[in-house]
Amino acid sequence: MTRRADVVVVGGGVIGCAVAWALARDGASVTLLEQRELACEASGAAAGMLLPYGESAGAGVFQRWGCEALARLPEVCAELRERSGVDPELEASGALYVARDAAAARALDARREAFPDGGLESLDAAAARDLVPRLAPEVRAALWSPREGHVRSPQLALAYAGTAEMLGAQVVRGATVHGLVREGERVCGVETSLGRRSSAAVVVCAGAWAPELVPMPLPIRPVRGQIVALDDASPRLRSILVEGATYLVPKRDGSLVLGATEEEAGYERRATPEGVAGLLAAGCSLVPDLGGTGFRGAWAGLRPATPDRLPAVGPVPGAPGLFVAAGHFRNGVLLSPVTGALIAAQVLGKSSPGWLEAFSPARFAGPPPEAE
C-alpha cells in the first residue's frame, strides 16, 4: 500500500511526537511511524527533569535553548492537556543542588558563577535543610534553582502525539521503517513493514537508532541510564534534589524517582543489580530515611548521545527532503518543544535562527581532522 503525507516522522519518542505536533500545528499533513509503542524507549525511561542550569556547562546557546523550552512549557503543557486530555504533570518545583565536601561546594560556586543571569542562588546548609528537612547531616552547601522543574516524560510524549492527532496527524504504531525511498538524491518517502509511504519530507527522530536510517555518518550511540522509583516518606520532598550524578524527583503519584547511571552497554536496556544497588546506596545516603520506604521498581533506557553531547537537528547534507532530530542525550524531554518548532520551520521552508547551525548534523559530515 502506498500512502502519501507531506511529512513522515520516524520514531514515536518525545522528540518525534513533538515534531509531529509542531508540524501539524503549522498545517502540514503528518504521518508519525513508530515501530513499537509511543514512548517505549528513552522517553519512557526518563525522569522528566527540566534542568537548563543543571545540565549545561555554562551560559551559551545550549543553555538558552533549554531556558527557552522551560519558559514555553507551561503554555505548551496547558495546550496539550486541553486538546489531548493527557496531563504531562508539569511541576515548577525548583531544584536544590547540594554538596557534602569542600571540593563539591567549590564546584557549586563555579556553577553559580557560570550563569550570570542569577538563575542559581547560593544557600547555606541551614537554608537547604529548611527546604528539605530530611537531608543528610553532612550537607554543607547548596544552590537553589527556583525556575527548574519536571514533567512526566511518557505523558508529555503521549500528549504531543494526541494533540497532533487532534490536529489531523496520523499516528501509526507497529510500523518499522526499513529504509528511505529516493529519486536521485531527493528523499521522497520510506519503506516500512506496512508498505511504502511517500512524502515530500522525512524527519528521522529515531533516538539511538537514528544512524541506521540516515545516509551520512551520524555518530549517535546509546548510553544506558538506569533509574528506580521508591515510595516517598513524610514530609514529602517538594523540589528536585541533586548531588553530583544522583537525583531525586518527587512525582504526583507519591513516588520518588531516583537516578541515574550513565553506562556504555550497547543496545542492552535491562536494569542490573549492580546499577540499582549503586543508585539505592547513593539515594539513601543523601536522604537517609529512604532506606525504610517501599521499593516500586527499576528500569533503564538508552540515551541517544553524540560525541559532543549536543543534539543533531536539521537537514541532512546530500539528501534533500531528509531531516534529523536526534542525539538529545540527557535533555530530550526539556528540549522537545523548541526542537519541534525548529524542525517544523525548517521542513516548511521558514527561516530558522542562526544559532541552530551549531547543532546541524552537517558537523559530522566532513572528513575527520588529520592527526598531528
Ligand X SMILES: Cc1cc2nc3c(=O)[nH]c(=O)nc-3n(C[C@H](O)[C@H](O)[C@H](O)COP(=O)(O)OP(=O)(O)OC[C@H]3O[C@@H](n4cnc5c(N)ncnc54)[C@H](O)[C@@H]3O)c2cc1C
Residues making contact with ligand X (CB under 6 A)? 10-16, 33-36, 40-43, 45-49, 176-177, 205-209, 213, 225, 227, 259-260, 301, 303-304, 326, 328-334
C-alpha dihedral sign at 238, 258, 302, 310: positive
Closer of 55 and 87 to ligand X (Cβ) = 55
* CB of 138 vs ligand X, minimal distance in Å: 25
Q: CB of 300: closest distance to ligand X in angstroms?
A: 7
DSSP H or E stretch at residue 345 = helix 332-347
Nearer to ligand X by Cβ, of 140 and 173: the residue is 173
Other beta carbons within 10 angstroms of residue 228's beta carbon come to 22
Cβ proximity to ligand X, 34 vs 165, nearer residue: 34
Judged by CB, which is closer to ligand X: 40, or 358? 40
Residue 237 in contact with residue 230, Cβ under 8 Å?
A: no
Helix axes 153-166, 14-25, angle to 10 degrees: 30
Of the pair 208, 287, the CB lying nearest ligand X is at 208
Residue closer to ligand X, measured from CB, 129 or 309: 309
What spatial distance separates the first Cα and last Cα of the chain, rounded to whole Å?
A: 53
CB 139 → ligand X: shortest distance, Å?
22
Smallest distance from the beta carbon of 359 to ligand X, in angstroms?
Answer: 13
- In whole angstroms, what is the distance from residue 199 CA to residue 134 CA? 55
- Written as nine digits, the cell of 309 is 553531547
As measured in angstroms, the least distance from the Cβ of 130 to ligand X is 25
Reduced to 3 states (helix: H, G, I; strand: E, B; else coil), residue 142 is: strand
Cα–Cα dist 199/61, whole Å = 32
User: Hey, which residues does 256 pair with through a beta bridge?
Assistant: 230, 250
Closest separation between CB of residue 200 and ligand X, Å? 19
